[in-house]
């Protein structure tokens, strides 16, 4: 995502959007730009990543609050409220370190992406920077840099969750994939990043999740979609059919007179919500399969006589 990109603009919502408005915007855009819907389209894939990243931040009340105040600089301090409070206190004093713009983070090295020792910086600000010409405080321990890597998982792993054994930089790590993780979401492994400075703690490792396309199911937000083929007879008379889900097979009732393209809903058979509990739904989209052959043609002519009005009666401009 571009450094200065507005996350609200990415989702196409106002800065006062409610949680429900954010979720609706996310689902609409995720459905449009999902890799399964746009196979091989790199631009759509990048857009999908931006949408997921924006929603991951704005759907978290704490991160959203820090983002509203500091923008994406909040990510560079690890969404840490204590560091944000320290910066807020420094800013209210009206003085900044050498090279910093008014009220900005430039002097902190955030624009360059280099590791920053906030302990040293704020020590200088509140010591020398406030008019004290005494000795500079001794350097403090600094946390190591964070690393980012990528993992690929199956849709079933995203729905049900899973523990994976990975080898990263020669180290064997056990990774818990939470049920409900989204394509483009991140999993944090605390203390698995770069080494700290002057005895400080190590940084963290963030694993960016990529979900492989599934041969049957398509994910839209926390909902799942699957095509359901049925016969002409089942569509006309109704039937109970077997449908696979990630929780096992279920019996689905197809009402009499079901049309091709109609969607049948199975509540709480979709993807678990990553936050707040609950699950999305599973939608089975009906595909009426028409038989072929001489007998089918004769039967089709007889069936045409049963229509009360022409099926294309409303197809006019």
Identical fold at 7-130 and 222-304? no
Compute CA distances 57 → 26, 178, 179, 212, 277, whole Å. 12, 17, 18, 23, 18
- Chain centroid to Cα 254, Å, comes to 33
Which residues contact residue 221 at a Cβ distance below 8 angstroms, ignoring those fewer than 6 apart? Answer: 23, 26, 27, 30, 31, 271, 280
pTM (whole model) above 0.85? no
pLDDT of residue 72: 83
pLDDT at site 134: 45
Contacts of residue 175, Cβ cutoff 8 Å, sequence gap at least 6: 151, 163, 164, 165, 166, 187, 189, 207
Residue with tokens 């045409």: 304
For CA atoms 7, 9, 12, 18, the dihedral sign is positive
DSSP state of 129: G
* Helix, strand, coil tally for the chain in percent (to 5): 30, 20, 45
Give residue limits of the domains in the chain. Answer: 7-130, 147-211, 222-304
Query: Is 147-211 CATH 2.60.260.20?
Result: yes
pLDDT of residue 93: 53
Task: Residues 7-130: name the CATH superfamily.
Answer: DnaJ domain (1.10.287.110)
Q: What pLDDT is recorded for position 315?
A: 87
CA–CA distance, 315 with 259 (Å, rounded to integer)? 17
* Beta strand extents in the chain (DSSP E only): 147-153, 162-168, 171-177, 186-189, 205-211, 217-220, 223-231, 239-243, 250-254, 263-266, 282-289
Residue 164, beta-bridge partner list: 175
Instruction: Give the pLDDT of residue 136.
Output: 55
| pLDDT value of residue 127 | 41
Radius of gyration of the chain (CA): 27
Give the number of other CB atoms < 10 A from CB of residue 237.
Answer: 12
Residues 6+ apart with CB under 8 A from 22: 11, 13, 55, 58, 59
The CATH fold of domain 222-304: HSP40/DNAj peptide-binding domain (2.60.260)
Mean pLDDT by 10 residues, the chain (317 residues): 74 90 89 85 87 89 88 82 73 45 40 44 41 57 87 95 85 92 93 88 92 96 96 96 96 97 97 91 97 93 90 84
């Amino acid at each position: 995502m571009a450094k200065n990109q507005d996350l609200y603009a990415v989702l196409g919502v106002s800065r006062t959007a409610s949680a429900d408005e954010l979720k609706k915007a996310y689902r609409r855009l995720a459905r449009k730009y999902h890799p399964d819907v746009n196979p091989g389209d790199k631009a759509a894939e990048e857009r999908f990543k931006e949408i997921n990243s924006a929603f991951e931040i704005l759907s978290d009340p704490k991160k959203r609050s820090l983002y509203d105040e500091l923008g994406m600089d909040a990510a560079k301090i690890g969404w840490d409220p204590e560091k944000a409070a320290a910066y807020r206190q420094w800013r209210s004093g009206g003085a900044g370190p050498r090279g910093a713009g008014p009220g900005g983070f430039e002097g902190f090295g955030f624009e360059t992406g280099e590791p920053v020792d906030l302990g040293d910086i704020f020590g200088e600000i509140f010591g020398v920077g406030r008019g004290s010409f005494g000795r500079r405080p001794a350097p403090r321990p600094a946390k190591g840099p964070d690393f980012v890597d990528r993992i690929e998982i199956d849709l079933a792993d995203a729905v049900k969750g899973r523990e994976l054994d990975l080898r990263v930089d020669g180290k064997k790590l056990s990774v818990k994939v939470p049920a409900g993780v989204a394509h483009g979401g991140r999993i944090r492994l605390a203390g698995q990043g770069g080494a700290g400075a002057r005895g400080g703690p190590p940084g963290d490792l963030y694993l960016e999740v990529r979900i492989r396309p599934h041969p049957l199911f398509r994910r839209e937000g926390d909902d799942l979609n699957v095509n359901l083929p049925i016969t002409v007879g089942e569509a006309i008379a109704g039937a109970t059919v077997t449908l696979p889900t990630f929780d096992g097979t279920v019996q689905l009732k197809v009402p009499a007179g079901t049309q091709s393209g109609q969607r049948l809903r199975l509540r709480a058979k979709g993807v678990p919500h990553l936050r707040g509990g609950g699950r999305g739904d599973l939608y089975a989209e009906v595909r009426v399969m028409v038989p072929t052959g001489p007998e089918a043609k004769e039967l089709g002519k007889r069936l045409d006589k049963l229509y009360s009005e022409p099926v294309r009666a409303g197809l006019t401009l």
